[in-house]
Chain A
């Protein structure tokens, strides 16, 4: 499985970013290869509108299976994510990336 987490940084110890559309970073973990990839999404702060769909579009380029975030995606981003078939798990907004991944593995996230 390839998993994308919305994060405030690029390390396993980084805090999760509870927001989807305006998340600062993508933290992408490939469970097969055990490789971590990151994407700096901070330029999104300059977008007045449509942050959600833009981030969703970017996410689709990474071919992930799972998205873990705080809450959301809402509004238009939700319909984009639905089209991609990516499974969404929420409720990890207050955790670190590592804690969020572990919580997902143990089935604590919805």
Chain B
């Protein structure tokens, strides 16, 4: 079984548009996993039926039992986040400021503070329009993605692939280089880096590739909007060559990407010309690697 993870480092490079296109081209052969859950949007293109959903718990927040509280103020003294102000003569934890470190609970002499697991969102198992299944998640307001949630989404996708005898798991990876990305990459068989020829695009490509390198995973690169800055595209070529990264394809800037998106379609369903051809060729390359 192959696990193909698509990441970009920088947002707005077209990662999800391209991943959803591959999901369309892969059709029934792939299981789709959306691990970009901070602001999940792949469902807009895949039209899931939200068939099964389960609550997701992650992280803890402090809560003070006012009955037990002796108002000594030790919790507020040690809180690095100043998350325990006195309101109407009661010590109250501010949930948006609390980082869940547990220092307050440790020093509380009255044992009045509990650290409670938080319901931060839901994860879903859906049937999607391409005739296959997708595992995805939605976080509540202010909740953050975590390695834990990504690991959960990926392990559900893997179990599905095993059960339905599918050979490919297509993962829309998380942005940045932090914990969720580490979790997206862990266990992957191939990484597709989607970038664009801009200063931030190249910077973040290099940054995220440092992480890919540590994992020792083979990587390929798609340069999206390759014609908007030819000089920067050349810089990307040079970087790929030094690092021995495959150049999978270059996609020219095309407003059909946005037009397709506004209709809830992927570019391969909307465009019948050049872009579709490039993405089909790219998918073939990735699929047979």
Q: Say yes or no: A78-B146 contact (C-beta < 8 A), given A52-B182, A71-B186, A71-B187.
A: no
A9 at interface by CB-CB < 8 Å:
no
B25 at interface by CB-CB < 8 Å:
no
**Interface size of A as a range:** 20 to 34
**Interface size of B as a range:** 20 to 34
- Chain A interfacial positions (CB closer than 8 Å to B): 18-22, 45-52, 70-75, 78, 90-91, 93-94, 110
Please give me the 7 A-B residue pairs with the lowest Cβ-Cβ distance, nearest first. Answer: A18-B187, A48-B146, A19-B186, A71-B215, A75-B182, A48-B148, A74-B214
Chain A residue numbers with a CB within 8 Å of B146 are: 48-49
Closest to B213 in A: A74
Chain A residue numbers with a CB within 8 Å of B215 are: 71-72, 74, 90
Shortest distance from the beta carbon of B224 to any chain A beta carbon, whole Å: 25
Closest to B120 in A: A48
Rounded to whole angstroms, the CA-CA distance of A85 and B147 in the bound complex is: 26
Specify which of B59, B182, B183, B216 is in contact with A90 (CB 8 Å cutoff).
B216
Q: A47-B148, A70-B187 are in contact. List 17 more A-B contacts (CB 8 A).
A: A19-B187, A20-B186, A22-B147, A45-B148, A46-B148, A50-B147, A51-B151, A51-B183, A74-B182, A74-B185, A74-B214, A75-B178, A75-B182, A93-B187, A93-B189, A94-B1, A110-B216
Instruction: Give B31-46 as 1s and 0s: 1 = Cβ < 8 Å from A's Cβ atoms.
Output: 0000000000000000
Shortest distance from the beta carbon of B98 to any chain A beta carbon, whole Å: 14
Contact in complex: A48, B58 (CB < 8 Å):
yes
Rounded to whole angstroms, the CA-CA distance of A66 and B211 in the bound complex is: 22
Closest to B180 in A: A49
Chain A residue numbers with a CB within 8 Å of B151 are: 19, 22, 45, 51
Closest to A46 in B: B148
Chain B residue numbers with a CB within 8 Å of A110 are: 216
Rounded to whole angstroms, the CA-CA distance of A18 and B1 in the bound complex is: 12
- Chain B interfacial positions (CB closer than 8 Å to A): 1, 58-59, 146-149, 151-152, 177-179, 182-183, 185-189, 211, 214-217
Shortest distance from the beta carbon of A94 to any chain B beta carbon, whole Å: 8
Q: Say yes or no: A71-B211 contact (C-beta < 8 A), given A21-B147, A45-B148.
A: no
Rounded to whole angstroms, the CA-CA distance of A91 and B214 in the bound complex is: 13
Closest to B146 in A: A48
Contact in complex: A78, B214 (CB < 8 Å):
yes
Chain B residue numbers with a CB within 8 Å of A18 are: 186-187
Chain B residue numbers with a CB within 8 Å of A19 are: 151, 186-187
Chain A residue numbers with a CB within 8 Å of B178 are: 75
Contact in complex: B188, A71 (CB < 8 Å):
yes
Contact in complex: B148, A75 (CB < 8 Å):
no
Contact in complex: B214, A51 (CB < 8 Å):
no
Contact in complex: B186, A21 (CB < 8 Å):
yes
Rounded to whole angstroms, the CA-CA distance of A86 and B187 in the bound complex is: 20
Shortest distance from the beta carbon of B266 to any chain A beta carbon, whole Å: 29
Shortest distance from the beta carbon of A100 to any chain B beta carbon, whole Å: 14
Closest to B59 in A: A48
Closest to A73 in B: B214
Chain B residue numbers with a CB within 8 Å of A51 are: 147-148, 151, 183
Contact in complex: B147, A71 (CB < 8 Å):
no
Rounded to whole angstroms, the CA-CA distance of A49 and B181 in the bound complex is: 11
Chain B residue numbers with a CB within 8 Å of A21 are: 147, 182-183, 186
Contact in complex: A75, B59 (CB < 8 Å):
no
Rounded to whole angstroms, the CA-CA distance of A49 and B186 in the bound complex is: 14
Specify which of B59, B183, B189 is in contact with A22 (CB 8 Å cutoff).
B183
Q: Say yes or no: A74-B186 contact (C-beta < 8 A), given A49-B179, A90-B216.
A: yes
Closest to A18 in B: B187
Contact in complex: A50, B216 (CB < 8 Å):
no
